[in-house]
Amino acid sequence: MQAKSNNFALIALMALFFVIGFITVLKDILVPHLKDIFELNYFEATLVQACFFSAYFITGGFFGKLLEKVGYPIGVVLGLVLTAVGCILFYPAASTASYPIFLSALFISASGIVLLQTAGNPFVTLLAPGKESTALTLVQAFNSLGTTLGPLFGAAFILSDATKYANKMEEAQSVQMPYLAIAGALILLAVVMYLLKLPDVRATAEKISDENHDGKTSIFQYPHFVLGAIAIFFYVGAEVTIGSFLISTMNKYVGIEEKIGAEYVAFYWGGAMIGRFVGSFIMTKIAPNKCLTFNAIINICLVLLAISFGGKIAMVSLLAIGLFNSIMFPSIFSLATKNLGKFTSRASGFISMAIVGGAIIPQVQSLVADNVSLLFSYIIPLICYIYIFFFAFRGYKIK
């Protein structure tokens, strides 16, 4: 009976992860859109990413402690509501055509996503003991489905031919109805999740702690967790910064206009989706750390190809990275939180803070792009993948 209940909960969480991916990737569409409206340079435009991902660092630790009090199911409902509030605030932000208000709305919606991530990831691993990486990779595949459809939605309803608008104010208001529709869907999903009465798995976490009692009193006493949190920082940073600069790279080096480029970005996130569906099967046969090692090596090679050759080779190489990004987050997360038991929710909160890499790494790459060249700036995600290789090869080991 318990196994059936857990399976039902995992199915429900697939919808949750779809929402997380869909909303998260829309900010990649906002970067070139707001860059054009407010006439920003690369550094100013990527404040969208900085604002969104700084929410992880600011709120992640608090949400980890909150989940210890209220449990994972209530955390999911609260996260959906908070995300909806942020989406609603896009309406006044667009009405005033104010970049700071846009960033504030992004921060609030991002805080909701942080709570959803902090609750959702450990929720999945605790629902599937012994199969953590496989279950999380499968559920994360629906996250990638969201990130695949998000750019198509953004290209159709947000990125449009600027000449059809009378002024910048009207162009800014193109985001109002799409984000109101998303807010409505989030509130509906929150009601559904509340009515489903998903199982509270805090008792499972306590049981894992009892079975693996080693006298530790803090998550920072687990080296594999600390190294894994750093790996999450670099992984999210690499994934986000490549997604942020793909449209600009294709426009500058291949001559593809932004609206078409946004549609190509779907291949980047679509590759991650395919990789996660396939990876959830492969990791039943091959250890997650070995899969992670292989994918890190491939991505290192793909970034080197892009930097070395530019043009269409760079475009294809960068888009292909999405496929090999696929299993990285679920693999790193499950390896980093393995055997943490009662510390799992707090560890998840800290890992959510590490997702601030998505705010910092794009800013670092943008500085290199502004001062050296856009193509050479991909050396920043290259460094990220080198560290992920280290974690997959050695750092994941429990001591």
Output the pLDDT for position 249.
93
Residue 368 backbone phi and psi in degrees, to 5: -65, -40
User: Is the pLDDT reported for residue 80 higher than 60?
Assistant: yes
| More confident: 306 or 98 | 306
Which residue range(s) make up the domain with 176?
2-395
Output the pLDDT for position 258.
78
Output the pLDDT for position 380.
97
When divided into structural domains, the chain yields a total of 1
User: Is the pLDDT reported for residue 163 higher than 60?
Assistant: no
Interatomic CA distance for residues 56 and 303, integer angstroms: 26
Average pLDDT, the chain: 86
Output the pLDDT for position 299.
98
Amino acid at 15: A
pLDDT digits (tens, 9 = 90+) for 343-374: 888 888 888 889 889 888 988 999 999 999 99
| More confident: 331 or 53 | 331
pLDDT digits (tens, 9 = 90+) for 182-225: 999 999 999 988 988 887 776 666 666 555 556 677 888 899 99
What residue spans of the chain are helical by DSSP H?
2-38, 42-45, 47-70, 72-88, 90-96, 99-127, 132-157, 168-172, 176-196, 202-211, 223-253, 258-282, 288-309, 311-325, 328-336, 344-354, 357-371, 379-390
In this prediction the pTM is 0.77
Residue 143 confidence class, pLDDT cut points 50, 70, 90:
confident
Smallest CA-to-CA distance from 397 within 229, 222, 207 is with 222
User: Is the pLDDT reported for residue 262 higher than 60?
Assistant: yes
Output the pLDDT for position 205.
62
Smallest CA-to-CA distance from 279 within 270, 269, 291 is with 291
User: Is the pLDDT reported for residue 3 higher than 60?
Assistant: no
User: Is the pLDDT reported for residue 259 higher than 80?
Assistant: no
Question: In CATH, what number is assigned to the domain containing residue 276?
Answer: 1.20.1250.20
Q: Which residue has the tokens 């079975």?
A: 211
Asked whether 352 and 52 are in contact (CB, 8 A), the reply is no
Q: Which residue has the tokens 């609603």?
A: 88
pLDDT digits (tens, 9 = 90+) for 9-62: 888 888 889 988 888 878 777 777 777 777 787 778 878 878 888 888 899 999
Interatomic CA distance for residues 158 and 178, integer angstroms: 8
Residue 165 confidence class, pLDDT cut points 50, 70, 90:
low
